[in-house]
Amino acid sequence: MSIAKVEPLTNARALHGPFDYRLPEAMAGLEVGSVVRVPFGRQRILGVVVGLAESSELPPERLAEPIEALEAGAPPELVRLGLWIAREYCSTASRGLQLALPPGTGAAGQRVRSRLELRAEIAAAGEKALSGGERLGVKQRAVLEALRAGEMSAADLASAVGADRAVLRRLEERGLIATRSSRMRRRSAQPDVGATGGCPELLPEQVTAVEGVVAALDGEVGAQREELRHGVTGSGKTEVDLAADEAALARGRGAIVLVPEIGLAPQAVARFRARLGDRFAVLHSALSDGERYDEWRRLRSGEASVCVGPRSAVFAPVGDLGLVVIDEEHDASYKQEGDPCYDARAVARKRAADCGAVLVAGTATPRPETWLELPRLELPRRVDGRVMPPVRVLDMREADPRSGPLHPDTWEALGAVREAGAKAIVMVNRRGFAPWLTCRSCGRHWDCPNCDVSLIVHRHSGRLVCHHCAHTEPLPRACADCDSTTLSQAGVGTEQIEALLAERLAPIPVFRLDADTAAGRGAHARILAAFGEAESAVLVGTQMVAKGHDFPEVTLSAILDADATLRFPDFRAAERTFAMVAQLAGRSGRGPAGGEVIVQTLAPTAPSIVHAAGHDATTFLAEEVERRRALRYPPFSHLTRIVLKAEVEGRLDRAAAELADALSDSLPGETDLLGPAPMFRVRNRHRRRFLLKAADREATIAAVRDTVENLAADRVLRDVAISVDVDPQ
Ligand code: ADP
Ligand code: ZN
Ligand code: ZN
């Protein structure tokens, strides 16, 4: 008899799987990773086979049989990875496994299938019929002639020669054609930007980088299996990745290239597709479920073996993985925000280590963790030989407040861009028009009814919007408390800067790129394309404008509030600010006209700003590492954050006290337990936060997992949601 150990796809924390099922003869072919529908209590739910056994501890008559097996499952390697994530990030087996499954496999049992299409091919008798002048209908003859050029789908035949299925059926009955059903590949309608598949002659530094990867692929003694590729923007890192991917393919191995969520620009996709052809697959959130499923299947079947995609592509079913590249490894989008809060960079390292693949993390602005942990390879020069653009830091504390959010020098530089017919990028850290609305007469201000934050003025839509929940309301004309009509809007956001620039810089067009304008499918790419095609233009937006694109006509990039990110009470604030300013600086001066960078700030002496202005990542990192060592922050300790949420505050406080007690009993020594600290209310839920600072990562995670699982069964925690974030960002 054979037994399948099945982990049910349900998110109950208190459930301890896997559970044994008896396999009928017809399901003897099931493997680890197969997805089955099983009876579970009174329900029928999906589950994943995580193990197979000869016998069970339970008598056979107590075991149920799966009802059916689904079309596609996950490779065993990914099942192990999913279970590892569940443990490592204090989540459930079900949530970990769902990451490994084909797109569209939901716990609720809905699923995506392959789409089939009918394909026709001419038979030898068909060729003879055409040349021998046999009697054929007009449509029949047209079909045969079309098929002489090669196999076609029924849909293509219908549009090419107007032949319907009946014509094909009759031809097949006469033995003149053969038809078959085949899996169809749904392709995204996203326009492919032109890219040449040409491969430039690599510079010596690039050659060294490729050789390093090849040596590791070939398992040479002394070759680095993990590497930080530290190279300024435009130093040819992507070109090195392409060559390394080709090397992996030539050795019959696959590759995964992770890119930031927003960085998957059509240009980048086109570049990979042009070089790697059909061996290339792309997985990203702009694809429909069907398209994503088809790309997944192409990887799973081995038809494609290089996958490019954001965070979740770390679970791409690439067989015989030889290389994993993490592009722009500093990017915050590699951390998943919902449970499991996995970090794709850590998962990539685990996966690469388990399958003997080479890992490369590339960036111009490495994280201190990566800087310390991985051996480095430097690509210090831009391929075009251009120097990095000069950076001017403007002290906004000394600027005349009447000049508004832009320093007079910034206006002057923008004016020069207009005169020269060039382009500029302007970044501001907040979207909307203004972050505060207040009544001048009575001081009332407008807060979100569901969250403890102020509502943001959005003039474009004429509404007040909460950036933490879905709440919006019409922009008031008068104060609700005192009827005064003198309402003041304080602070600036992208909409306001857009309006200011459009007015002062006319006639050159101003494009805005932020979460509001980029919301629709393909909108992000359309805005960038419009900016690219314009002769002279300004692009205004949030951090999105600093990421993943290359416009040689940009001669000025400016950030208006470079200290906004520094004010967060977060030990990564400096690292974030450095990366943001350095990335924005990298957008300017990529063409023959050169360029410059302006940084407006209230904190001109902050190390992150000074070193970013000097394009000096090495000094910044050296200082930042020492600061972290002194304060015992990662990587010199391990952080875990636990957040409790509830609508009723009293319940929340009792739960927090209970958790604090349980944790202080179970945590290993040398662990600081900070909290519970109040956090601002979001979506009508009050929140409390604990932060653990630990020396022993494994022991702390295990203690947190056990504590949370025990409490999940406790009545005190009823109606209290608890989330655990290991290595919070
Ligand atoms: P990065 O990823 O470091 O920003 P890319 O690989 O995208 O750099 O290179 C920047 C530009 O320079 C691209 O247009 C690329 O095609 C080109 N490039 C890269 N390497 C070379 C080379 N060796 N010779 C000529 N052009 C190159
Ligand atoms: Zn008022
Ligand atoms: Zn809200």
CATH of the domain at 88: 3.40.1440.60
Q: Hunting for tokens 């015989």 — which residue is that?
A: 320
Cβ–Cβ under 8 Å, residues 78 and 273:
no
Res 415: pLDDT: 97
Residues 147 and 71 in one domain: no
- Which ligand has an atom closest to residue 684 CA? 3
Residues 230 and 371 in one domain: yes
- The span from the CA of 723 to the CA of 69, in Å, is 33
Pick the atom of ligand 1 nearest to 202's CA.
23
CA trace torsion 600, 604, 608, 612 (10° rounding): 60
Res 194: pLDDT: 52
**CA distance readout (Å), 582 to 35, 289, 390, 576:** 46, 36, 12, 10
Question: What is the Cα 228 distance to its own chain's centre?
Answer: 20
Residue 251 in any domain: the answer is: yes
Residue 486 in any domain: the answer is: no
Element (DSSP H or E) covering residue 227:
strand 226-231
DSSP string, 628-696: HHHHT-TTSSEEEEEEEEESSHHHHHHHHHHHHHHHHHHSPSSEEEEEEEEEEEETTEEEEEEEEEES-
Task: For 355-399, write each residue's pLDDT tens digit.
Answer: 999 999 999 999 999 999 999 999 988 888 888 899 999 999 998
Residues 349 and 264 in one domain: yes
Q: Is the CB of 234 under 6 A from ligand 1?
A: yes
Residues 251 and 363 in one domain: yes
Q: Is the CB of 233 under 6 A from ligand 1?
A: yes
Pick the atom of ligand 1 nearest to 242's CA.
6
Region 441-447 average pLDDT? 94
Task: For 543-553, write each residue's pLDDT tens digit.
Answer: 999 876 778 89
Region 84-103 average pLDDT? 92
Residues 156 and 178 in one domain: yes
Residue 381 phi/psi, 5° resolution? -115, 150
**CA distance readout (Å), 302 to 298, 320, 321:** 6, 10, 11
Domain final residue pick, 184, 218, 245: 184
Region 344-353 average pLDDT? 97
Res 249: pLDDT: 94
Residue 467 in any domain: the answer is: no
Residue 320 pLDDT greater than 80, yes or no: yes
DSSP string, 253-287: -EEEEE--GGG--HHHHHHHHHHHGGGEEE--TTS
Q: Is the CB of 8 under 6 A from ligand 1?
A: no
In this structure, what token pair is assigned to residue 723? 């989330």
User: Considering only CA atoms, which of 283, 287, 278, 301 is closest in space to residue 73?
Assistant: 301
Residue 641 burial (CB count, 10 A): 18
For ligand 1, pick from 237, 239, 326 the residue to mutate: most ligand atoms within 8 Å of CB: 239
> If you ran DSSP here, which 8-state letter would residue 449 be given?
S
- Which ligand has an atom closest to residue 205 CA? 1
Residue that wins the pLDDT comparison between 585 and 233? 585
Q: How confident is the model at residue 131 (pLDDT cuts 50, 70, 90)?
A: confident
Distance 466 CA to ligand 2 centre (A): 20
Res 343: pLDDT: 97
Distance 686 CA to ligand 3 centre (A): 12
Longest dimension (CA), the chain: 95
Distance 327 CA to ligand 1 centre (A): 14
Collapsing DSSP to helix, strand or coil, 469 comes out as coil
Residues 14 and 55 in one domain: yes
Q: Is the CB of 239 under 6 A from ligand 1?
A: yes
Residues 623 and 678 in one domain: no
Q: Is the CB of 290 under 6 A from ligand 1?
A: no
Mean pLDDT for the chain overall: 90
Q: Is the CB of 235 under 6 A from ligand 1?
A: yes
Residue 323 pLDDT greater than 70, yes or no: yes
Cβ–Cβ under 8 Å, residues 210 and 244:
yes
Residues 576 and 615 in one domain: yes
Residues 170 and 41 in one domain: no
**CA distance readout (Å), 453 to 435, 436, 644:** 10, 10, 19
**CB burial readout 539-569, b (16+ within 10 A) else e:** bbbbbbbbbbbbbebbbbbbbbbbbbbbeee
For ligand 1, pick from 383, 384, 547, 588 the residue to mutate: most ligand atoms within 8 Å of CB: 383
Residues 221 and 262 in one domain: yes
Residue 174 pLDDT greater than 60, yes or no: yes
Distance 237 CA to ligand 1 centre (A): 7
Res 86: pLDDT: 93
Residue 350's domain spans which residues? 204-379
Residue 280 in any domain: the answer is: yes
**CB burial readout 704-713, b (16+ within 10 A) else e:** bbebbeebee
Q: Which amino acid is at 359?
A: L
Distance 96 CA to ligand 2 centre (A): 51
- Which ligand has an atom closest to residue 472 CA? 3
Strand partners of residue 376: 228
Atom 9 of ligand 1, nearest CA residue = 236
User: Considering only CA atoms, which of 664, 674, 669 is closest in space to residue 704?
Assistant: 664
Residues 644 and 618 in one domain: no
Distance 416 CA to ligand 1 centre (A): 28
Q: Is the CB of 583 under 6 A from ligand 1?
A: no
Q: Is the CB of 237 under 6 A from ligand 1?
A: yes
E strands of 1-88, at which residues?
2-8, 19-23, 35-40, 43-53, 68-69
Residue 195 in any domain: the answer is: no
Residue 470 in any domain: the answer is: no
DSSP H helices, 162-261, are 165-173, 204-217, 237-250
What's 713's domain CATH number? Answer: 3.30.70.600
Distance 486 CA to ligand 2 centre (A): 8
Pick the atom of ligand 1 nearest to 206's CA.
23
Pick the atom of ligand 1 nearest to 232's CA.
3
Residue 472 in any domain: the answer is: no
What's 273's domain CATH number? Answer: 3.40.50.300
Residues 510 and 616 in one domain: yes
Q: How confident is the model at residue 470 (pLDDT cuts 50, 70, 90)?
A: confident
**CA distance readout (Å), 693 to 75, 554, 626, 632, 710:** 36, 44, 18, 8, 22
- Which ligand has an atom closest to residue 478 CA? 2
- Which ligand has an atom closest to residue 451 CA? 3
Res 106: pLDDT: 63
Atom 24 of ligand 1, nearest CA residue = 200
- The span from the CA of 566 to the CA of 604, in Å, is 11
DSSP string, 491-560: S--HHHHHHHHHHHHTTS-EEEESTTTT-STTHHHHHHHHHHHSSSEEEEESGGGGSS---TTEEEEEES
Domain final residue pick, 597, 627, 657: 627
- The span from the CA of 253 to the CA of 647, in Å, is 51
Q: Which residues contact 44 (CB under 8 A, 6 or more apart)?
A: 37, 38, 67, 109
Distance 478 CA to ligand 2 centre (A): 8
E strands of 30-170, at which residues?
35-40, 43-53, 68-69, 115-122, 152-153
Res 653: pLDDT: 92
Distance 385 CA to ligand 1 centre (A): 11
Residue 445, Cβ density class (10 Å: 0-12 exposed, 13-18 middle, ≥19 buried): middle
Cβ–Cβ under 8 Å, residues 483 and 459:
no
- The span from the CA of 153 to the CA of 166, in Å, is 14
Res 440: pLDDT: 94
Domain final residue pick, 576, 604, 627: 627
Number of domains, the chain: 5
Res 82: pLDDT: 97
Collapsing DSSP to helix, strand or coil, 302 comes out as coil
Distance 235 CA to ligand 1 centre (A): 6
Q: Is the CB of 231 under 6 A from ligand 1?
A: yes
Residue 325 in any domain: the answer is: yes
pTM above 0.75, yes or no: yes
Q: How confident is the model at residue 103 (pLDDT cuts 50, 70, 90)?
A: confident
Pairing of strands 472-474, 463-465: antiparallel
In this structure, what token pair is assigned to residue 330? 């500093």
Q: Which amino acid is at 185?
A: R
